[in-house]
Structure 1
Amino acid sequence: MFVKDGTSKLKKVLVSKPQFLKPAPINEIAKLWKDTTMDVDIMLREHQEFVDAYHKAGIEVEFLEPDDKRPNSVFARDFGGCVKEGYIMGRFKLDMRYKEHVDYKQRMEELGVPMIGEVKEGLFEGGDFMFMNEHWIAVGMADRTNEQGLNELKAILEPLGYEVTGVPLKREYLHLDMCFNLVDEHLAVAYRNGLPEQFRKLLTKRGIEIIDVPEEAISLHGCNLQALGGHRVLSLKRNEKVNEQLAAKGMDVIELNITEILKAGGGPHCMTFPLLRG
């Protein structure tokens, strides 16, 4: 088994350092910083803090070496999604990320994780892949995953017994993990009004409680948290209110002092590709 679900014990992850990351104006957050230069030393220090947090939590960390021809590969989540049987390779919308298809595929082969399918016609990025429980996967459809990509995912996953639910979102939200994140088996952080009514009803029906954040928290990565299992979650130090609410629900919140990497439009969840969980 590779990845059982989205919230049980995380054991191994794949990440990539932000050596060549720039605030390319490819999402609403990065557009705000497009005229600035991001400090590489600060980003590398932040990424090391992120890796150290995983090590301290007893989680093994694997790396894809950075490459100036794929500046955004620090957002390792986006190349696909991983389930019990192996991983699905996604298809990026932007050509500046196409080299990630090749390099992440090779790295996964080296790590012994089989590819069980690939989205080839539509679009699908891993920031939209939310593993809700052992048998249920939600897939966001904002700017980087489309209906054709969703249908290809269904064709790969439904024969394996997974229920796949499409979650249409405003294009500006970029990925599902920017406005919704499952942090524990029955607990999520979300901008509730940004989610379609049908999905909200499903969450209620399946006993998932939501900690509400305002819409402006999306661009501040207020939802972009990473569940570690065992009621532990990686968050950002600046998410003060969310972190207080999570702690009040019994979560052990590990705060990361990351701000520079965030300017490119991704947080701890975006930076993490789970390899082993369960």
Structure 2
Amino acid sequence: MTSVSILGPGDEPFVLDLGAPAAPVRVPTTRRYLMCPPEHFTVEYAINPWMDPTQPISTELAMAQWTALKDAYERLGHKVEVIEPQPGLPDMVFAANSGTVIDGRVLGSRFRAEQRAAEADHFRRWFQTNGYHGVVMPERTNEAEGDFAWTGTLLLAGTGFRTDPAAHAEAQEVLGVPVVSLQLVDPRYYHLDVALVVLDDQSPNPLVAYYPDAFSAGSQQVLRRLFPDAVIATGTDAACLGLNAVSDGRHVLLPVEATDLAAQLTARGFEPVFVDISELRKSGGGPKCCTMELRG
């Protein structure tokens, strides 16, 4: 609420209520994404707490949900590139884990779980075939945008469950951007992209949303210093993978269950775009997991 004190008749002060401050005007920027259809999606192993191979899976429903997400990007004016899915790689749909692209430079991935290892080479070939000539494949375990979040000024880098902390220095050398390491401590939030989302990467002062309890005490302090105006997600937001979202600077695509987070975003001038990722969530993924951003 905003108010000012002014002098009235007889020099008696009174308070004039100006109402709530107006939300900032958010301006979207056109993005280019790489996605992989979940034609072979299933849950046949467990490499995170969300995965249960004993539960039924509908590949048809996963495909419909993925298609709706892709359609939403295209309705918003974004360009979506599609890589061919490969049999025997049910998690290849989670394209964000296979590369980090900043200013046209590409750092590939090296998966911790052997079940996903072959995905990295398929994406490497896609990059080389599509004009990315300086692709670097990492020496250290690095699950790409699963644990790397570009804010427009620096690269936030998660570790604790998947990405080797030494991969953070490797990313800085390859991509030529400053890197800030963040320690994840809750196995449910095994990647940075299920604990934090970059909302505005175009401003000199980037804006993020995150769930504090997913991070160590020291990393929480770092996040408070870097982003004092951050949107703080609730446990309910985090538990539906609400932070596994994608923002173009105005529109934020997020799971339909993340209503508390959506309300906070609306108050900050963003426009939530709800998508249903319930079937893909059975493998621990959401909108961001399905979406690699091709920057430059």
Same fold (TM over 0.5): yes
Counterpart position of 1:97 = 116
Of residues 174-183 and 214-223 in structure 1, the stretch that sits farther from structure 2 once superposed is 214-223
Amino acid at match of 2:178: E
Distance 1:47 1:148, change over 3 A: same
User: Which residue identity does 1:52 align to in structure 2?
Assistant: D
Quote the Cα distance in structure 2 between the aligned partners of 1:96 and 1:163: 31
Residue 125 of structure 2 aligns to a residue whose secondary structure is: helix
TM-score normalised according to structure 2 size: 0.82
Q: Tell me the residue number matched to 1:181.
A: 197
Deviates more, 1:50-59 or 1:204-213: 204-213
Match for residue 4 of structure 1? none
Alignment partner, residue 21 of structure 1: 41
- Segments of 5+ residues of structure 2 without an aligned counterpart are 1-26
Contact 1:29–1:219 (Cα < 8 Å) also in 2: no
On the 8 A contact 2:240/2:255 being kept in 1, the answer is no
CA contact (8 A) 2:111 2:141 kept: yes
Larger radius of gyration: 2
The gaps in structure 1 that reach 5 residues or longer are: 1-6
Matched, 1:145 2:163: yes
Distance 1:146 1:215, change over 3 A: farther
Q: Distance in 1 between matches of 2:70 and 2:196?
A: 23
Give the Cα separation in 2 of the matches to 1:77 and 1:238: 22
Corresponding letter in the other structure for 2:168: L
Q: 1:54 to 1:208 in 2, by over 3 A?
A: farther
Which amino acid in the other structure matches residue 124 of structure 1? Answer: N
In structure 2, the partner of 1:155 is: 173
2:196 alignment partner AA: F
CA contact (8 A) 1:81 1:89 kept: yes
Match of 1:239 in 2: 258
Contact preservation (8 Å) 1:70, 1:97 = yes
Q: Which sits farther off after the overlay, 56-65 or 18-27?
A: 18-27
What is the aligned partner in structure 2 of residue 226 from structure 1? 246
- Identical-residue share of aligned pairs (%): 23
Give the ranges of 4+ consecutive aligned residues of structure 1 lying more than 6 Å apart after TM superposition: none
Do structure 1's residue 164 and structure 2's residue 182 form an aligned pair? no
Which residue is equivalent to 2:17? none
C-alpha distance in structure 2 between counterparts of 1:51 and 1:114, whole Å: 26
- Mapped partners of 1:47, 1:115: distance in 2: 30
* C-alpha separation in 1, matches of 2:136 and 2:217: 30
SS for the counterpart of 2:136 is: strand
Q: How many residues align?
A: 263
1:133 match: secondary structure: coil
Against the structure 1 CA distance between its residues 171 and 92, is the aligned structure 2 distance closer, same or farther, given a 3 Å change threshold?
Answer: farther
Please state how far the C-alpha of 1:207 moved relative to its aligned partner.
4.2
Task: Give the AA of the match of 1:168.
Answer: Q
For the residues of structure 1 that align with 2:51 and 2:239, how far apart are their CA atoms?
A: 10
Shift, 1:197, TM fit:
4.1
**What amino acid sits opposite 1:174 in the alignment?**
Y
* Residue 249 of structure 1: how far off its partner (Å): 0.9
- Secondary structure of the equivalent of 1:262? helix
1:251 to 256, 264, 270: 270
Q: 1:171 to 1:90 in 2, by over 3 A?
A: farther
Q: Which residue is 2:7 aligned to?
A: none
Per mean C-alpha deviation after superposition, the further-off stretch among 258-267 and 198-207 is: 198-207
Equivalences for residues 26-175 of structure 1 within 5 A: 26-31=47-52, 34-120=53-139, 122-126=140-144, 127-134=146-153, 136-157=154-175, 160=176, 162-170=177-185, 172=187, 173-175=189-191
**Aligned mates of 2:48, 2:182 — CA distance in 1:** 19
Q: C-alpha separation between the residues in 2 aligned to 1:44 and 1:245?
A: 30
Quick one: structure 1 residues 238 and 132, their matched pair in 2 at CA, closer, same or farther if it must change by over 3 Å? same
TM-score under structure 1 length normalisation: 0.87
SS at match of 1:28: coil
Classify 1:118/1:171 alpha carbon distance in 2 versus 1 (closer, same or farther; 3 Å): farther
